[in-house]
Every structure is written in structure tokens, then in C-alpha cells.
Chain A
């Protein structure tokens, strides 16, 4: 049987970063991560295939974040997925952040430019280094759909990065 605390140590970073990337604010992430691990604690003994653990955990993160979003919507009509993203929140625009030279901000800007479905697949594949079958299982979509989304997401990401680099070069010349 899988041991809870070892599972926590192994997947804490993954759960936290996934929740943040799904739009949970810094102020709320503690609560959401706790909810996720309470579910894991309650259900861990039902996991039969340790290889599928990460996909299973990501599914829990998605559902928990979804519940969190719904509750937040009830509480406040101000909440929306994009608003919860730091790079889409009021304040400095992604362009302003990028001008500050932060690669993290540029990455965030390019990710924000992807559709939600593509972004999720792209993040899991490229940032979390999950295999496409793992992603398909985590998102509960057919394998071909996951492959297709990843292919389009990569193309969109590369195109957006290319446009950014072109603007940079143009700005550098002027």
C-alpha cells in the first residue's frame, strides 16, 4: 500500500504548481492543496497501479480547483479563470512584465495566449514532462485528442514566441 507522507513529499510540488497554473491564487493555494491531499489521503489505498498515480493526482487537482472556482464564483462574480492567472490579473500587463526582462513572465504570457485546453496539455507535457498517455488519462480524453492538442499547442506556442522575438528584434533596431 502506498504511504501517504511519502506520496505527499513526492507530489507536493506537482500539486502546488498545477493548482497555481490552473488559476488558483497565491492566497488560496494553501487551502486548495490541502483539499487535494485530504482526498489523496482518503483514497490512496484504492490506487492499484502506482504508475498511474500522477495522472490520478492531477485529476484530483482539476476537480478540486474546479470546485474552488465554482465556490469562488458564488462568493464573488469577480472571479474568472483568466483573472486568477497572475499574468492576466489587473496590474502590470504581460507586456510590461516582459519588458522587465523576466523569462517567467514571458513564458506566462505565451501560455496565457493558448486556449485553455491546449494550455493544459502543453503544461503537463512540456513543464511537468508527463507522457501523452499519462496526460490523456489525467484529462480523461482520448489519446488522439491529447496528441492533437499537444501538436497544436506546440505550434501556437512556437508561433507566439516567434512573433515576440520578431518584435524584440524590431525594437532593438529602432
Chain B
């Protein structure tokens, strides 16, 4: 069979690594897998798991304790402070009540199954023990703090005009917290970064995932000149 010519081979050699992952990707995915496997995300012998629909995710809201709701309100306040213009104070429903655009009900993200569970070790008895409630709340609060920290970085980069960095950090948030409490804010930040990069069609597509009444979406559309 005829081989490729030297120009084609050179082009392939130059461009073939463009979709390769980074070492950080490798570590992050492995960490997530360890959690999921430890939590029973992979059952040896299951028939055709690659083509089977994923199991329904544990509903997010019932897992969020009152302590986390408080932290969510605090988070909302923090983000409010970060935004250039004041948004309505998050005195209404906490962020967790919003449907998560990143993990719609008809295509659950399996990551969410493990992600809200801070302890991957399968010790349900211990988890039900009232003595473990405080560590769980602490872990969930830590997750929120991580979400806030990531989105703060993205917002700061955005406001400084570093759109690519904002996009990268928003993507990192999406990967770490696909069904995160701050998914709506993430989509808005990401859309604005895409607009700054001239990728308005992608921004529109992202913003279409938000509720029309979303204040974050409205603000992002306005800044993108999409209204």
C-alpha cells in the first residue's frame, strides 16, 4: 500500500499531539477514578457497562445539609462581591436549588455520584453515624470553598482581560465540579471569556444552557453584546 509522502508525514508529526492531555489531566482523572472505584462506581462483571445508561445520580439537593446551605449563601455573597456590578443578593433560594446546567437530569454525570461524597472509603455505617456529620459538612464546605476559589481566579482573570486564562480556569472548575453549586456562575464567566476571544457562537451555545431568567446569564449576554 502506498505510504504517505514526506510533507504529509511531517504535518502529522507536528500536529498529532494537539489533542494530547497534560500530566495534570492524567493525575486529576486518576484521582477521580480512585474515588469512584472506591465508592463502587465500577462493578466487575456488569454486562456492557460501556453502552448501558449510567445509573441515576443521587439527587444533589437532599445531600446538602443546612450547614452547606449556609456556606452556599456565603459563597453567593462572595461572588456578588466579585462581580463588577451588584447582582441581587442571594437571599432567595440557595445556589444548590438551581438546576445544574452541567449535569442535566437526562444525562447524569457519574462524577457527581462520587464527588459530593467526601469519604471514598465504603463505610456506610460510619457515614450514618451522627459523629461523622461534622466532618462531612466540613468536607462539603471545603468543596464550596474550592469552587469559590476557582471562580474567583476565573473572574479576576476575566476582569484583567486574560480571557484564555479565565477560560482555562472555568474549564478546570467544570472538570472538578461538573455538577457544582456554582455551575451557573461558571457558565457565565466562561461565556464572557469566549466572547472576549471572539468565539461568540460558543458563548451563545453555553448561555443557552442557562435559564432565561438567570441574572448571571443576562449579565453575560449584555457584556457580550448578545442582547
For residue A52, CB closer than 8 A to chain B, the reply is: no
- A contact residues, total (Cβ < 8 Å): 57
Contact bitstring A90-108, B, C-beta under 8 A = 1, else 0? 1110000000001111111
Contacts of A127 in B (CB 8 A): 12, 16
Q: Which of B1, B3, B37, B42 is packed against the most chain A CB atoms within 10 Å?
A: B42
Q: Contacts A91-B199, A107-B11 given; indicate if A63 touches B50 (C-beta within 8 A).
A: yes
Which residues from A are CB-within-8-Å of B53? Answer: 67, 71
* Docked pose: A44 CA to B3 CA in angstroms: 35
Chain A positions 41 through 69: 1 when the CB is less than 8 Å from some CB of chain B, otherwise 0:
11101000000000000001001101100
Known pairs A67-B50, A104-B15, A161-B7; A38 contacts B28 (CB<8 A): no
| Interface membership of B205, Cβ < 8 A | yes
CA distance A151 to B54 in the complex (A): 38
Taking CB atoms, residues of chain A closer than 8 Å to B152 are none
Comparing B104-112, B120-128, B219-227, the segment that makes contact with chain A is B104-112
- What separation, in Å, do the CA atoms of A66 and B52 have in the docked complex? 11
Asked if B33 and A103 make an inter-chain contact with CB atoms under 8 angstroms apart, the answer reads no
Question: Shortest beta-carbon distance, B100 to chain A, in Å?
Answer: 12
Residue of B nearest to A90 (CB): B201
Q: Determine if A78 and B50 form an interchain contact, defined as CB atoms under 8 angstroms apart.
A: no
Instruction: State how many angstroms separate the Cβ of B127 from the closest Cβ of chain A.
Output: 22
Q: Are A157 and B8 in contact (CB under 8 A)?
A: yes
A147 touches B50 (CB 8 A): no
- Which residues from B are CB-within-8-Å of A45? 44
Which of these, B26, B50, B205, contacts A35 with CB under 8 Å? B50
| A-chain residues with CB within 8 Å of residue B107 when the two chains form the complex | 71-72, 74-75
Q: A30-B175, A42-B43, A45-B44 are in contact. Are A75 and B104 (CB under 8 A)?
A: yes
Please tell me if the beta carbons of B21 and A12 are within 8 angstroms of each other in the complex.
yes
Contact with A along B125-137 (1 / 0, CB 8 A): 0000000000000
Closest to B205 in A: A78
In this assembly, does A150 line the interface, its C-beta being within 8 Å of a C-beta of chain B?
yes
Q: Does more than half of chain A's interface fall in helix, strand or loop, or is it mixed?
A: helix
Is B32 an interface position by the 8 A CB rule? yes
Which among B12, B18, B25, B178 is the interface contact of A126 at CB below 8 angstroms? B12
For the complex formed, measure the closest distance between the CB of B24 and the CB atoms of chain A, giving whole angstroms: 11
10 more CB-based (< 8 A) A-B contacts, given A91-B199, A151-B1: A13-B26, A35-B50, A37-B33, A41-B44, A64-B50, A71-B106, A71-B107, A91-B198, A106-B11, A107-B12
A-B contact pairs, 29 of them (CB 8 A): A8-B30, A12-B21, A12-B29, A16-B19, A16-B29, A17-B19, A17-B20, A26-B171, A27-B174, A30-B32, A30-B175, A31-B109, A31-B110, A34-B36, A34-B111, A43-B44, A60-B50, A66-B51, A67-B53, A71-B53, A75-B106, A75-B107, A91-B201, A127-B16, A147-B1, A151-B1, A151-B2, A154-B3, A161-B7
B-contacting residues of A (Cβ < 8 Å)? 5, 8-9, 12-13, 16-17, 20-21, 26-27, 30-31, 33-39, 41-43, 45, 60, 63-64, 66-67, 71-72, 74-75, 78, 89-92, 102-108, 110, 126-127, 147, 150-151, 154-155, 157-158, 161, 165
